[in-house]
Structure 1
Amino acid sequence: MKTVFYICLLLAGLHAFAYGQLTANHRNGHDPNEPNDHTHHNAEAVACLKLVPNNADFAFKFLNEVALEEPNKNIFFSPVSISTTFAMLALGARSITKTQILEGLAFNLTEIQENEIHEGFHNLVHMLSHPESGVQLNMGNAIFLTEKLKPLEKFLDDAKPLYQLQVLATDFNNPTEAEKEINDYIEKKTQGKITNLVKEIDPQTVMLLASFVFFRGNWEKAFKPENTKEREFFVDAETTVKVPMMYQVGKFDLYFDEDLPCTVVRLHYNGSATAFLVLPAEGKMKQLERTLDKERVKKWSDNLFKSKIQLYFPKFSISGSYEITNILNKMGIVDVFTNQADLSGITGVPELKVSKVVHKAALDVDERGTEVAATTAPKIMALTLAPSIEFNRPFLMLIFDRDTNSTLFIGKIANPSTTSRSEI
């Protein structure tokens, strides 16, 4: 009988949204999916930027699959977290299992060497974990092992430096205590953002892999709380909810994509992160989910223009917990979950498989941020005559890191008044 290898993916989401565009190089319309010429870490950047187009392809394909599984519901996940964890798992995979994992992550193995993939992820994790001032972003991985199972030295020698892996002994024969130990570890690493990730651990479990991403950013320019007022959000033709709607007047980076159609607003955090807010025309969300890819984002980035508008954006919190094995199956990662799995590079024993993949994410959006230097002149009444863009129906949110051009988070906010967790 196959030994159970219970793998968990988790991440924490945003704490405070920030105001802006696709920072630094992206302020000049640079594509978030293309290499960045202004990185402070040229050697690291060269390696990790090789992964950019593949990681972007994986991110948008995953969004499409999640949207099919969860139509008309809130979605929030971290593609870079999932990609990084499965790349680390590929270190211990062999034969077809390894090929399926890497190709499922959107890598063409005739165009990129496996060692380039791992070196790229190593530098990606390192650069994301040392961002510039203004953004807090921590990534890490941990393996919880039963004492009777000893990982191969080679696997540890490779995984620890490449993926900042920590190895912790755990007694899975006592599931209640094991769950508490793992959940406490994850809660601490995500500063209390992700709690109770692991539930109902099988006593037969011999290994659990946890991956975490924690991100907190401040707006370059905070929304003023006194401007937040309750307004209507149109979930669908039959459902309208009241939500606290934040408000700012000023110049924003905009693009109106007539092909979809949709409206794109680009916003900035202090530091190295940027967000695209994408508001599809009524009835066009499914088309947007089906067609969104890195080429589309490049088109938006290349065609943004500044315009004075009144921006209305909801204040909300959402979270989601997903069992994503089925989605990964559809993306070609199959054998690792079956008795055909070959993970012998981890422990040296063949009877090892992944039994479950859990991915949990949370997102808070509010007014908080650090005010940038600004004019002290009073508001000019003419500003209020600027056209308004109101995110008062379902929209997408894409969060990028500027130094690595990585897609950190993707979300669909279908109903900002809903905070319940979804289970795929």
Structure 2
Amino acid sequence: MPIADHPLRYATVNELHARPFPALQVPSTAVYVAIKEPVQAHNRDRQKDLAHLVALLDRHGSQHPQPGATHFQGPIGRAELKWESHTEFVTYSAFSRGLSKRPFDPADAEVLPEDWLAQAPGKRLTSVMIRIAPLPASDAELLAQLDEWFVPESLAVSRVVDGAAVIAGDFRIDPAGHMRFAVFVRPGTGPRRVGRIVQRLCEIETYRAMSMLGLMRSRDLTARLNALDPRLSALVSGLDNAEPAPEAALHDLLSISAELESLAVQFSFRFGATAAYEAIVNQRIEVLREQRIEGRQTFGEFMMRRYDPAMRTVKSAEGRLKAMAERAERAAELLRTRVDVERSAQNQKLLESMDRRADLQLRLQRTVEGLSTVAISYYAVNLMAYLLEPLAYRFGISHGALLSGLVPVVVLGVWLMIRRIRHHLS
């Protein structure tokens, strides 16, 4: 009998080949759009994403994706469409052969119609136009074109993948709402290598935009931490003061701790995602293997100057939230210890008071026992006198003499009886 396969064996292998790189000829144009829900949703409604994709495919009579698919590649008219569904966003890439006469012509983006984009289940996170052209004969001609197309102050340009191509971009949004990149390809470079370079440019921009969402969220978090920090500092500095009462201070501290934990729950996913997206951005830039051209800044240097400080701000806010939560926890432990010590002292005083009361009660009880001996003896003497008076009369004993004789005997008997009862109870 052949050995049975694990039920997920083929699924895990197929996942390695689920999103192949496009094969792009030179010259060509790439239009790329990423769409994300504006709310802080961790998972998208994939059925809405598929329905939106099918609406675009139906315009061109193209084949539909499989039910539940997370990626698709097929033609839409003259262009080749690539669709991918991710955890937080969905992307559309349209690749067309040839170049328009006007560099980065907004008409090239009409391959993804505006009325169709307006019906997307989400908002546009990033929109990119990439012009893929042959490499000019000289660096001077290349740089002249780049200075004409891009803002020189923020232009990043480098030779990548062992000189197979030159990539350039200024990471600015043009009046048509697109970010522009240029890819100049060396003759003899294969279509799949060109496709990998273009795909990495799209990923760099997408994950840069996604990670920058963490910066916006960290600013909100910083404002809320700035409001909590003075309260927490005041409570911590007043731990050794008599006022406010430890119970009241502990209640306030627990309120701050609860708010900090709530902030941690709200921001933990975004901070974790930001760290993951930052790692992807740096990894995508690293695999490009950049080489400097004519002293111009590379993509890596641009990110180091403009992008890395934003990521450090996010990490700083995350670290500050964690540090404040730990500080609040330590302060709460100290306050609880102080409350426990004070309660122990109160309990000790209460026990001492109870001991004094018990001692007084015991003394009072003994006093009462002495009085009760007299009272019982009094009634017992009278009863015995009534009982023995006829016999005493026969023997000529007077009433007074009878009482005098009975008193010592009865008192001694009652005293012995009470003592025996107390000894038995003890």
Which structure is higher in RCO with an 8 Å CA cutoff and minimum separation 6? 1
Q: Which has the higher helix share?
A: 2
Category of TM-score, reference length = shorter chain: under 0.3
Q: Which has the higher strand share?
A: 1
TM norm structure 1 = 0.26
